[in-house]
Amino acid sequence: MIMIAYYIITAFILFLVGWNFVREKKKPDDLVLYLLVMVPLLLRLLRVK
């Protein structure tokens, strides 16, 4: 049950970071950072790592 909740939290954070990536207009550095932050979240959501 707790594990499922954490997967939901992961998906939510992934959505937020992804949304920020889409909305970001000016700072290319931030774009890269958003993508890097998303790597472990996506791998966990896909149950790879």
> Does 8 contact other proteins by CB under 8 A?
no
> Does 31 contact other proteins by CB under 8 A?
yes
Radius of gyration of the CA atoms of the chain, in A: 12
Contacts with other proteins: how many residues (CB under 8 A)? Answer: 19
**CB contact set of 29 (below 8 Å; sequence gap of 6+):** none
User: At closest approach, how far in Å is the CB of 3 from other proteins?
Assistant: 5
Local structure of residue 19 (DSSP, 8 states): H
Residues of this chain that interact with other proteins (CB under 8 A) are: 2-3, 6, 21-22, 25, 28, 31-32, 35, 38-39, 42-44, 46-49
